[in-house]
Amino acid sequence: MSTSRTHRTHILFVCLGNICRSPLAEGVFRDVLEKDGLADSFHVDSAGTGAYHVGEPADPRSLQVARDHGVTLDGKARKVEPDDLDRFDHIVAMDRDNLRNLEAMKERHGGKAQLHLLREFDPEAHEGDLEVPDPYYGGPDGFQAVYSMIHRSCKELLQRMDSDPPRER
């Protein structure tokens, strides 16, 4: 294990195609870390459970809502790989379908990563409503709503990273 790995927390955000929600969560979490002076304590990435958009930049609407909030999204879409389950401490899914895919991958391949839904950390989420909806087929308002959910959740995720357990799914 490398020395940087022993003191950095590795977090992977996951949605289906890795062009809307998960790159936005990655960018927002990086921004929260930067503002709190904690960027060097974390390694943050995003991926998709599907390979639909591998190599593509984030959706233009995600890029725009991120820019509107001073957040940079500069990654390219990639697919979750089985070794991500060991490389990351926490893998944070945007919805239950992607969480189930991650759980099945972990069952097949093992791994130490703790799996979560992002909105388990959202102080405004209600029990049974812990998913970040996919805004892909909607307009800009959906991307703004998703940004707000992600931002609240990422701020709380950072605060609760090592303290309280997340809510039950």
Catalytic positions: 15, 21, 134
3-state secondary structure the chain: CCHHHHHCEEEEEEECCCCCHHHHHHHHHHHHHHHCCCHHHEEEEEEECCCCCCCCECCHHHHHHHHHCCCCCCCECCECCCCHHHHCCEEEECCHHHHHHHHHHHHHHCCCCEEEEHHHHCCCCCCCCCCCCCCCCCCHHHHHHHHHHHHHHHHHHHHHCCCCCCCCC
